[in-house]
Homo-oligomer: A and B are copies of this chain.
């Protein structure tokens, strides 16, 4: 078999069948671009060939056809192609591709935290601990973890929920963060937070028995949710974030979305992403209490995606965990079922490739927790090294430890630089004619709005593309800047956005903003 291109091909009937605009009956509809669903290249297989195969586009799991994950969609695929073309010496109007499509800090030049990497080298190669070259706390940390690994090796399976000492450390970290006790038995470590999020969603699958369970997700949302909801044949119930209120949540809008969903779904789950992805807002305590009351009123299971909890930049913003809020609100809210997620991929470490994440489950029926553990056991366990990175995150050097000062210095520098870049991005986009950009209070993204000239909308439609997809592809082809069109995250009808990370290092960021500004001016000129 020759290597097919990495893109999303669709025969037209499956395209139409599967469009989230049709399958998600309740508004706000996920307005995912048909251009994202369709391939930039033609299908490589004529239909007649499919018929000789056991597995074809016509009989594959239909949810696999319809699910989409825009963060790694056609724009990104084209960006990778462009990089290769440049490497082969192709003549382009730019010298490099700048990937602002994904929250991948190391790929954009952020350096790892020394303490984390010293521990990793010691736990993988324990003979290094005898060389006298590593600080005492690195060695103690490494030995403590290894002492609870099977055969004292990171090459042994852990329990399905993770190495016990690491779950204890996570529980201690949460306890300290919230001032509310956390039980290590309620913590399950996973290969990134994504895996835990998908595991929790999976518990709500009905397999055609009765109405689909509706899952409330913000619009715009992180496409992991729309992709997994589609894959699991759950029902996506979008609630709009209020752009004019810096992407805050409005209870009336939640109520509207919930009520409209009931016609099609048994809505039981509510996802909140705080700090927001792709929107960069940090929820106020007051807003969170309103959300909790809403969720309690309708007996919703809360999924709190809190992977950006260390990424808060705005002076007036502060991160509060949902666990803390429900507990401080007291009865009856403190008994609400809650799954909270965290990750080593974001924060100040940015260790995406390590795949470390966890879920803390609160107030679940104890039997469900048992079933959850059974469900994840068939996958054996998550990467032990990813778990150890998590351990470094929740159990970092303490004041007085030999590694503490360097660790603190590195951590502070990363967070300060992210804060600076958050402001730089907001200021730059905010000052461009025809672009609106909210404050980036937290997380790693801005989600600016493009005031799209009507002629550009027409042009895009004539190409059967969403206008923001058209814009993003033009931007990429003419400047090498790779961002993700807002239609991949969802947005209000008739509005157009894009998500950009704040991760390019400062010089690259300036270069990116200059390329963008110049492109945007020409674009306005062309379509005014």
Please give the residue numbers on chain A whose beta carbons come within 8 Å of chain B beta carbons, in ascending order: 1-9, 43-45, 49-50, 52-57, 60-65, 67-69, 72, 102, 104-112, 117-118, 120-122, 124-125, 128, 131, 133, 149-151, 153-158, 160, 183-186, 191-192, 194-195, 198, 202-209, 223-224, 227-228, 231, 233, 268-269, 299-301, 335, 337, 349-355, 361-375, 377-386
Q: Are B301 and A54 in contact, CB atoms less than 8 angstroms apart?
A: yes
Q: Are B191 and A355 in contact, CB atoms less than 8 angstroms apart?
A: yes
Q: Are A112 and B155 in contact, CB atoms less than 8 angstroms apart?
A: yes
Q: Are B337 and A3 in contact, CB atoms less than 8 angstroms apart?
A: no
Identify whether the interface residues of A are mostly helix, strand, loop, or mixed: loop
Q: What's the least CB distance linking A490 to chain B, in Å?
A: 15
- Given A354-B383, A378-B228, A367 and B106 touching (CB < 8 A)? no
- Given A61-B203, A125-B118, A202-B64, A1 and B383 touching (CB < 8 A)? no
Q: Are A194 and B364 in contact, CB atoms less than 8 angstroms apart?
A: no
Q: What's the least CB distance linking A235 to chain B, in Å?
A: 13
Which single member of B5, B156, B204, B378 contacts A224 (CB below 8 Å)? B378
Q: Are A382 and B352 in contact, CB atoms less than 8 angstroms apart?
A: no
- Report how many copies the assembly holds: 2
Q: Are A205 and B63 in contact, CB atoms less than 8 angstroms apart?
A: yes
Chain B positions within 8 Å of A67 at CB level:
374-375, 378
**What are some 7 contacts across the A-B interface (CB < 8 A)?**
A3-B183, A55-B268, A72-B160, A121-B122, A128-B128, A131-B133, A354-B385
Q: What's the least CB distance linking A478 to chain B, in Å?
A: 24
Q: What's the least CB distance linking A206 to chain B, in Å?
A: 7
Lowest 5 CB-CB distances: which A-B pairs, in order?
A: A107-B150, A3-B185, A353-B384, A208-B208, A121-B125
Q: Are B149 and A353 in contact, CB atoms less than 8 angstroms apart?
A: yes
Q: Are B61 and A8 in contact, CB atoms less than 8 angstroms apart?
A: no
Which single member of B43, B151, B381 contacts A110 (CB below 8 Å)? B151
Q: Are B380 and A383 in contact, CB atoms less than 8 angstroms apart?
A: no
Q: Are B194 and A191 in contact, CB atoms less than 8 angstroms apart?
A: no
Q: Are A6 and B354 in contact, CB atoms less than 8 angstroms apart?
A: no
Expressed in whole angstroms, the Cα–Cα distance for A351 and B352 within the complex equals 21
Expressed in whole angstroms, the Cα–Cα distance for A378 and B227 within the complex equals 7
Expressed in whole angstroms, the Cα–Cα distance for A6 and B386 within the complex equals 23
Q: Are A385 and B385 in contact, CB atoms less than 8 angstroms apart?
A: yes
Which single member of B62, B120, B191, B367 contacts A125 (CB below 8 Å)? B120
Expressed in whole angstroms, the Cα–Cα distance for A4 and B185 within the complex equals 8
Q: Are B208 and A207 in contact, CB atoms less than 8 angstroms apart?
A: yes
**A298 to chain B: closest residue by CB:** B54
Chain B positions within 8 Å of A207 at CB level:
61-63, 207-208, 233
Chain B positions within 8 Å of A55 at CB level:
203-204, 268, 301, 337, 364-365, 368
Q: Are B131 and A124 in contact, CB atoms less than 8 angstroms apart?
A: no
Q: Are A374 and B106 in contact, CB atoms less than 8 angstroms apart?
A: no
